[in-house]
């Protein structure tokens, strides 16, 4: 026969064990950290594959596990067709790269396309090589502010994607710093290309802390010790440490990219597997 006091001691022991297990579980979960739930791809990585087999390439991405895609042109396909195909494959396209000239000259048309495809961001991918002085950056900032206001009225947002040249020092200031300082945070966002930033000697974490909330999108691509672009996980960039600051940066979309892969599908498959296993 179990006495009341024995029953109580047994209950307390079981409660202690349960509490300890719960505590260990919490520590384990904390140690594992977060993972990216929706991995995207900048389709420039597969521009040749997209040109030859638009639907088949997107279908392959969905099979690999990608959830989001960022377009860099539609290879002659209509926005209506693109949206229907994305829906069929359970993919979404939060953003597209749109050239600066198109933003300057036909923004309304690009807004209409973005809305029909279901996008949130129109991203300017670069600026011409002969428009990179600080005076030019001021003009680009004004263009982005104006485009940002027009996009906001349409329920969209404008963003700017960097390469390495924006981080070149001019009169104690970089072009990237000038864009950040001269654009309205409520109108203009940034898509930080992590490879090009690191390659230029910039520190993404420092940028995130200095300009919190301005980086809703990032391009995730790696570099080896020699500075050459490689698949994610095959280089030296510490993505886990960078992504620990995702909340500070305001990151919502992580797009894998490789500008010149030897084998496009194998490259983006390897990058997907590496990125999906990163804890932060």
Q: Which residues of 32-50 are buried (b: 16+ CB within 10 A; e: fewer)?
A: eeeebeebbbbbbbbbebb
pLDDT of residue 33: 86
- Do 16 and 55 reside in the same domain of the chain? no
For residue 23, pLDDT over 50 is answered with no
CA dihedral 40, 154, 115, 156 (to 10 degrees): 0
- Do 23 and 150 reside in the same domain of the chain? no
CATH value at residue 96: 3.20.20.150
Return the minimum-mean-pLDDT range out of 28-32, 57-61, 195-199: 28-32
pTM for the structure as a whole: 0.89
- Do 202 and 234 reside in the same domain of the chain? yes
Alpha-carbon gap, residue 199 to 180, rounded angstroms: 19
Q: SS3 of 146, please?
A: helix
In tens, the pLDDT along 232-277 reads 999 999 999 999 999 999 999 999 999 999 999 999 999 999 999 9
- Do 240 and 135 reside in the same domain of the chain? yes
Q: Which two tokens stand for residue 138?
A: 């001021």
- Do 149 and 254 reside in the same domain of the chain? yes
- Do 17 and 63 reside in the same domain of the chain? no
- Do 38 and 28 reside in the same domain of the chain? no
Task: List Cβ neighbours of 232 (8 Å cut-off, separation of 6 or more).
Answer: 220, 221, 222, 239, 256, 270, 271, 274, 275
- Do 6 and 21 reside in the same domain of the chain? yes
Range of the domain at 21: 1-32
- Do 23 and 95 reside in the same domain of the chain? no
For residue 14, pLDDT over 80 is answered with no
- Number of domains observed in the structure of the chain: 2
- Do 163 and 27 reside in the same domain of the chain? no
- Do 140 and 57 reside in the same domain of the chain? yes
């Amino acid at each position: 026969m179990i006495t009341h006091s024995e029953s109580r001691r047994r209950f307390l022991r079981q409660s202690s064990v349960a509490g300890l297990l719960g505590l260990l579980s919490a520590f384990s979960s904390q140690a594992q950290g977060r993972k990216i739930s929706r991995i995207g791809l900048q389709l420039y990585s597969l521009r040749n594959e997209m040109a030859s087999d638009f639907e088949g390439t997107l279908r392959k991405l969905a099979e690999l596990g990608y959830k989001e895609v960022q377009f860099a042109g539609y290879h002659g396909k209509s926005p209506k067709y693109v949206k229907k195909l994305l829906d069929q494959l359970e993919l979404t396209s939060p953003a597209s790269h749109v050239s600066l000239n198109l933003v300057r000259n036909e923004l309304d048309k690009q807004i209409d396309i973005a809305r029909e495809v279901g996008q949130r961001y129109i991203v300017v991918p670069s600026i011409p090589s002969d428009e990179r002085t600080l005076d030019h950056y001021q003009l680009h900032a004004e263009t982005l502010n104006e485009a940002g206001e027009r996009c906001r009225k349409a329920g969209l947002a404008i963003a700017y994607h960097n390469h390495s040249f924006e981080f070149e020092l001019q009169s104690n200031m970089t072009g990237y710093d000038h864009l950040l300082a001269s654009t309205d945070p409520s109108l203009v966002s940034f898509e930080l290309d992590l490879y090009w930033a690191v390659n230029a000697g910039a520190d993404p974490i420092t940028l995130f802390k200095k300009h919190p909330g301005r980086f809703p999108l990032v391009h995730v691509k790696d570099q080896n010790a020699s500075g050459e672009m490689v698949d994610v996980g095959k280089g030296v960039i510490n993505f886990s440490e960078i992504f620990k600051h995702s909340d500070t940066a305001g990151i919502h979309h992580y797009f894998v990219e490789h500008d010149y892969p030897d084998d496009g599908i194998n490259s983006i498959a390897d990058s997907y597997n590496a990125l999906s296993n990163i804890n932060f």
